[in-house]
Structure 1
Amino acid sequence: MLEYILFDEHSWRRFIDYLRQLGLDPETSVAEEGWLIALPEDLDEALDVKIEAYYDQLLEGDEAAVAKREGEAHLHAAGVNVTLADGRIVQAVIDPKLMQRLLGAVSPRELGEFVDAIAAAVENPDERPLCQR
């Protein structure tokens, strides 16, 4: 699943409405860290690009709203969800500047695939050389 998080309920609802207008049926939930949306990973590439662009707009608005609301207490933070083999989801904290550079080069989907590959390799080590796999 592709997972998205927003930090403002209004933005979350706008994103859900947008996805439904595109003919999608997102899974939604609310967690301690924010409002969550999940979509299947097999989206058409052009549709994925549209969704990512809209999500980025909403996320920028969320950041500005949180900064305004929290003032000096506002901290820049970034992270990525890691799904473990047992189904648990944990968050890996990433320097926000590094995350911004990563997302400037790869899509969130590609970053998720990269993180999933690392998690799988850590949980199920295969010490054979790549040429023997």
Structure 2
Amino acid sequence: MMEYIFFNAELAERFAEFARLIGAGCEERSDNMGLIVAVPEDLDEELDNRLDTYYAHLLDEQAEMVEQTEPGLKHNTSINITLIDGRTCAIRIEPEMMNRLMGCLSIDEIHQLATTIARNVENPDNRPLCQT
């Protein structure tokens, strides 16, 4: 399941309703990080893109809500990955960069990219590319 996280119940419910409306289906739950809306990973590309676009829109709304209620609070985004030794690590990404990434990649693809980079930093392969 692809997981989308929210920190506002209304936004999470709006996303879940949208997922159901476009035929994606979803499961809702909360965990220690926030409210999770999970959709199947095997969605076609069009549905996946529609969900990612709507999620980015809701994240912008969420950031505006936070800025209105807590002026001066900095909006941040991150991707959680598991390192080779099993530790969990949050990779912080500037919100503007995350929005740009989400414009062309799914959340899963962004997570895969971050995980690949982290794994290569942890276990570098300095051979020339033509030899890998």
TM-score of the superposition, structure 2-length normalised?
A: 0.74
Structure 1 distance, partners of 2:105, 2:91, is 18
1:1-133 superposed matches below 5 A: 1-70=1-70, 72-84=71-83, 89-122=88-121, 129-133=128-132
Ranges in structure 1 where 5+ consecutive residues have no aligned partner: none
Taking a change above 3 Å as real, the CA distance of residues 17 and 88 of structure 1, as seen in their structure-2 partners, is farther
Structure 2 distance, partners of 1:107, 1:7, is 20
After superposition, the C-alpha distances for 1:11-50 in whole angstroms (9 at most, x for unaligned) are 1011112212333342433234321223333220111111
The answer to whether the 8 A contact 2:56-2:99 is kept is: no
Please state whether the residue corresponding to 2:57 is helix, strand or coil. Answer: helix
Q: 59-68 vs 121-130, which deviates more?
A: 121-130
Taking a change above 3 Å as real, the CA distance of residues 10 and 53 of structure 1, as seen in their structure-2 partners, is same
Total equivalences in the alignment: 132
Please identify which structure carries the higher helix content. 1
Please state whether the residue corresponding to 2:29 is helix, strand or coil. Answer: strand
Q: CA deviation at 1:124?
A: 5.9
Please state whether the residue corresponding to 1:102 is helix, strand or coil. Answer: helix
TM-score of the superposition, structure 1-length normalised?
A: 0.73
